[in-house]
Amino acid sequence: MAMYIRVKRSKTTYFIQCEPTETSLDIKQKLHDLIDQPVSDQRLILVSTGEVLEDSKSLADQKVENDAVVALTLRKDDNEFEEVNIVRADDFYQSRDADAGNW
């Protein structure tokens, strides 16, 4: 296994094993197997930069590295994509401020 990325939405994190040469579309297909959402209804956003990942580009080309956090958003009924929604564990632990910004 070359690398993994963490795909997050709401309170769920999917650890996805992948290669740097794989494209964003490959990742969406893997997610499709897990969540039954067609690839066309998925949007992936690299959290550290806020950039939307493009289907045809490889992970390496888009600076998606090992252990990167990627947000998953899904197409809503009105055909628009939902906003990034990731619930952080820190919301429960104010005392862990030292950890802030550290995934």
Partner 1 sequence: MRKEETVKLISAEGFEFVIHKDAAMVSQTIRNMLTSPGSFAETEHGEVTFPEISTTILEKICKYFYWNLQYASGKQTEFHIEPELVLELMMAANYLHT
CB of 89 to partner 1, least distance (A): 3
- Phi, psi for 18 (deg, rounded to 5): -160, 175
Residue 36 carries which side chain, given as an amino acid letter? Answer: D
Nearer to partner 1, 56 or 95 (CB): 95
In angstroms, rounded to a whole number, what is the distance separating the alpha carbons of residues 103 and 99?
8
Nearer to partner 1, 63 or 87 (CB): 87
Whole-angstrom Cα Rg for the chain: 14
In angstroms, rounded to a whole number, what is the distance separating the alpha carbons of residues 74 and 85?
10
Interaction site with partner 1 (CB under 8 A): 1-4, 11-17, 30, 33-34, 66-67, 87, 89-90, 92-93, 96, 98-99, 102
Nearer to partner 1, 77 or 86 (CB): 86
CB of 51 to partner 1, least distance (A): 23
Q: What tokens were used for 100? A: 């802030």
CB of 99 to partner 1, least distance (A): 7
* Residue 39 and residue 29 in contact, taking contact as beta carbons nearer than 8 Å: yes
CB of 37 to partner 1, least distance (A): 13
